[in-house]
Homo-oligomer: A and B are copies of this chain.
Amino acid sequence: MAMRVNIRIVGRKSSEPWLEEGVQMYESRLKPSNVEVETTWHKDNPALMKGIEQDSQKNHKIVCLDPNGRSTSSEIFCDNLYNWLEEGGSRLSFVIGGAEGLPPELKYPKSSTAQASPPLLSLSALTFTHQFARLLLIEQIYRATEIRKGSGYHK
């Protein structure tokens, strides 16, 4: 079964063609590894939460990008990525918040809900635009598949 990664972002698609071309390059390089990456743009936090609700109902794994999240090496990200995909039945959503960051209900879920709070991942101590974070994330997903294959790309 193909592994499917959905990048959920609050905000608008970049108007910079080079960013879109970069993402598309990694999307197509990932296909032979049976990993399909797509991006869903949400207009605001409620729209994002609706999408995440749907993911949860289908038991997809959800991982949030957050500056206070855990930062890892590319090798550990690779291990995490494949574990997350396994937990989610080959379905994984990464969440990138808007200018205000993640919605609070994702960072601090109510203890009354049975649902476990999603892991928080930090790409860097530096801040990026959400478009740039998307490019960086898909590059790391591609790198993870190359690490798994034992290719020379990640060296």
Contact A127 B73 (CB under 8 A): yes
- CB neighbours of A143 from chain B (8 A): 127
Q: How many copies does the complex hold?
A: 2
- Which of A22, A124, A143 gathers most chain B CB within 10 Å? A124
CB contacts (< 8 Å) of A17 on chain B: these are: 18, 21
- Using C-beta atoms within 8 Å of the partner chain, give the interface range for chain A: 20 to 34
**Distance (Å) between the CB of A13 and the closest chain B CB?**
15
A110 cross-chain contacts in B, Cβ below 8 A:
none
Chain B contacts of A16 at CB under 8 A?
22, 25
Chain B residues closer than 8 Å to A140, beta-carbon distance: 126
CA distance A25 to B15 in the complex (A): 12
CB neighbours (8 Å) of A71 from chain B are 71, 124-126
Q: Which of A72, A125, A128 lies at the interface centre, i.e. has the most chain B CB atoms within 10 A of its CB?
A: A125
Partner pick for A136 among B74, B99, B125, B136, CB 8 A cutoff? B136
CB-based contact B126/A126 at 8 Å = no
Minimum-distance CB pairs A-B, first 9: A124-B124, A18-B21, A18-B18, A74-B127, A71-B125, A18-B22, A74-B126, A73-B125, A99-B155
Q: Which chain A residues have a beta carbon within 8 Å of chain B's beta carbons?
A: 16-19, 21-22, 25, 71-74, 77, 99, 123-129, 132, 136, 139-140, 143, 153-155
